[in-house]
């Protein structure tokens, strides 16, 4: 998960690219997101099969976050997952308002009980020049300590990783951390908070994630009429 253009499809291609090197997930090279729907990509690591799920990026100009959230819920309510990979570009000099909104939304989608199953992944380290690496590491520390960004996840025992598309091992390390977690005694699948809440409340608009988006739209003086189609 993450905002538009943070490298979700690139991460998937590093692990899921076919034997002839062709990419499986479409990567965008413009301001427009290439992923409009939830997509599944089978992968294998250390003889173990698993699926990576590519999701539409939040803050997509073609779709509202309400629409994206609805698509995610429709998919995940019947398909349990073992973890969430939350991607962010380390090359972003400043933490934008849209990035903070995305972090807040993902926080509400997951819920505190799911945080230890979240991998916080900074990407695009391959384009960071040697002279800029110290500044990039300072930004990483700031991201982890920012109350409105990654700090709640870190406090909830989420793991941090650095990803470079030139080094497959950096992507493999993320997946291996999920494998290690599943080997722990008493491990069980933990549902996303938004899935549990929609099953209990019957409507997306009443979930923590839905209420967060409703507050955001109210602040921006947007009409809330679109919510009528989400109430089930």
CATH number of the structural domain spanning residue 198: 3.40.50.300
**Residue 29 confidence (pLDDT):** 39
Q: What is the pLDDT of residue 37?
A: 81
Q: Residues 65, 21: contact at Cβ < 8 Å?
A: no
Phi, psi of 98 (to 5 degrees): -65, -35
pLDDT given at position 221: 62
What pLDDT is attached to residue 14?
93
Strand order in the sheet with 159-162: 84-89, 118-123, 159-162
Asked whether residue 2 is assigned to any structural domain, the reply reads: no
Position 1 in a domain = no
Q: Does 3 map to a domain? A: no
What's the pLDDT score for residue 145?
A: 97
- What are the mean pLDDT values of the chain's consecutive 10-residue runs (232 residues total)? 90 76 48 64 93 88 88 91 97 94 97 98 96 97 97 98 96 97 94 96 95 88 51 48
Domain span at residue 152 reads: 8-230
119 belongs to a structural domain: yes
CA-to-CA dists, residue 25 to 1, 11, 16, 57, 93, angstroms: 14, 9, 8, 14, 27
Q: Is residue 217, in this structure, part of any structural domain at all?
A: yes
């Amino acid at each position: 998960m993450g905002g538009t253009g943070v490298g979700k499809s690139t991460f998937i291609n590093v692990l899921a690219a076919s034997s002839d090197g062709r990419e499986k997930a479409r990567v965008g090279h413009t301001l427009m997101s290439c992923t409009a729907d939830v997509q599944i990509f089978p992968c294998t690591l250390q003889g173990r099969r698993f699926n990576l799920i590519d999701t539409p990026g939040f803050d997509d100009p073609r779709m509202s976050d309400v629409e994206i959230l609805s698509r995610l819920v429709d998919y995940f309510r019947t398909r349990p997952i073992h973890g969430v990979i939350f991607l962010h570009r380390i090359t972003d000099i400043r933490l934008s308002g849209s990035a903070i909104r995305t972090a807040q939304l993902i926080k509400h989608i997951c819920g505190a009980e799911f945080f230890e199953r979240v991998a916080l992944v900074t990407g695009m380290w391959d384009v960071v020049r040697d002279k800029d690496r110290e500044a990039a590491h300072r930004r990483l520390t700031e991201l982890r300590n920012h109350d409105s960004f990654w700090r709640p996840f870190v406090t909830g025992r989420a793991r941090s990783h650095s990803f470079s598309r030139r080094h497959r091992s950096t992507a493999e390390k993320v997946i291996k951390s999920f494998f290690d977690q599943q080997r722990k005694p008493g491990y069980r699948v933990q549902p996303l908070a938004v899935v549990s809440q929609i099953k209990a409340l019957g409507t997306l608009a009443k979930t923590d994630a839905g209420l967060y988006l409703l507050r955001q739209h109210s602040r921006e003086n947007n009409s809330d009429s679109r919510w009528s189609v989400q109430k089930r």
